[in-house]
């Protein structure tokens, strides 16, 4: 509106009647462009998207995440003890207690119900987190983590993950990339646990034998192939490829950024662990270069 008024005034000053119409037209085009940019920025709603909006997004991420986890856990017809234990451990990692834990358990249980609508739940999630690609990918990674909780990815689980990925708007190629990278992350954590157990056993043996000390480990049991796979790379990756992949993954999993976009604060520990794994792989490759 103001564009048309000002355009008409300036046009009349410099060109009288003809100038008025030209100014009116140019002002109209200015108003139209300004409105499009204003709407694209969220209109007046952007003035009110404060803490309440973040809390709403975090609540949606939280409930959607556990509901879909419950649905995936029951993909084989029944929820195994392994999946239940994995969900409980996941809640432990997040430090969920009291009402927060009950909400997570309720959402997980809702996902197991026969009338649960996976399509509607994931669609609503995608609509709310549109253009927040890092959060959408993390959501998928969490579902992959649930499917991998028993160390095996069953056919039904993979098909369900593919469906979730498609509903989220993730391409088949990128889904394959995310799946392979998580497999490397899963194997890395498993090896870390075995390596730590071996070190503790060696330490106890050294003390029993009277040495009084033991030699500290010089790595975490990782090799180059595993480190590259964790970064989503193969053995042909160059030094530049490694740096680019590292920076991209660290940016995607930065805890503070994800929380500001809607990741529940309870889940920050998950992003921290992923960042630590990425950092470990990169540091290993730098030393091995």
pLDDT tens digits along 226-276? 899 999 999 999 999 999 999 999 998 888 888 888 888 878 888 888 899
In sequence order, which ranges of the chain are alpha helices (DSSP H)?
2-40, 51-73, 81-93, 98-112, 118-128, 133-147, 155-167, 172-208, 224-230, 239-252, 255-261, 268-288
User: What pLDDT digit, counting tens, does each position of 120-165 carry?
Assistant: 999 999 999 988 999 999 999 999 988 888 778 889 999 999 999 9
Q: Rounded to whole angstroms, how far apart are CA atoms 151 and 79?
A: 15
pTM of the model: 0.70
Q: Indicate whether 219 pLDDT > 80.
A: no
80-108: pLDDT as tens digits: 888 888 888 888 888 888 998 999 999 99
In the predicted model, is pLDDT for residue 209 greater than 70?
no
8 A C-beta contact, residue 94 and residue 265: no
Report the greatest alpha carbon distance in the chain. Answer: 104
Q: How crowded is the C-beta side of 63, counted as CA atoms within 13 Å?
A: 11
Residue 208 has a pLDDT of 57
At 24 the pLDDT is 52
Half-sphere exposure of 116 (CA within 13 A, CB side): 22
Summarised one tens digit per residue, pLDDT across range 32-72 is 554 444 344 344 333 334 567 778 888 999 999 999 999 99
pLDDT given at position 28: 56
Q: What phi and psi, each to the nearest 5 degrees, are found at residue 219?
A: -160, 180
Q: Residue 144 and residue 140: Cα distance in Å, rounded?
A: 6
């Amino acid at each position: 509106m103001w564009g048309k008024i000002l355009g008409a005034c300036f046009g009349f000053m410099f060109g009288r009647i003809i100038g008025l119409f030209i100014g009116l037209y140019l002002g109209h085009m200015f108003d139209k462009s300004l409105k499009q940019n204003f709407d694209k920025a969220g209109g007046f709603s952007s003035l009110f998207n404060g803490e309440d909006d973040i809390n709403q997004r975090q609540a949606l991420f939280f409930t959607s995440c556990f509901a879909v986890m419950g649905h995936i856990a029951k993909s084989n017809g029944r929820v195994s003890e392994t999946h239940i234990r994995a969900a409980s451990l996941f809640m432990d990692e997040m430090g969920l207690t009291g009402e927060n834990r009950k909400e997570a358990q309720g959402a997980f249980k809702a996902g197991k119900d026969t009338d649960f609508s996976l399509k509607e739940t994931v669609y609503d999630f995608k609509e709310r987190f549109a253009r927040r690609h890092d959060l959408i990918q993390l959501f998928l990674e969490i579902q992959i983590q649930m499917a991998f909780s028993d160390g095996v990815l069953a056919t039904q689980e993979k098909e369900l993950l593919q469906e979730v990925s498609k509903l989220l708007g993730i391409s088949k190629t990128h889904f394959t990339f995310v799946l392979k990278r998580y497999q490397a992350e899963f194997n890395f954590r498993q090896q870390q646990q075995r390596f730590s157990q071996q070190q503790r056993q060696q330490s106890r043996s050294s003390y029993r034998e009277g040495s009084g000390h033991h030699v500290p480990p010089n790595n975490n049991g990782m090799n180059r192939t595993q480190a590259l796979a964790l970064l989503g790379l193969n053995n042909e990756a160059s030094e530049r490829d490694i740096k680019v992949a590292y920076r991209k993954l660290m940016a995607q999993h930065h805890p503070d950024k994800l929380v500001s976009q809607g990741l529940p604060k309870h889940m920050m520990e998950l992003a921290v662990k992923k960042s630590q794994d990425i950092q470990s792989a990169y540091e290993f490759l730098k030393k091995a270069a």
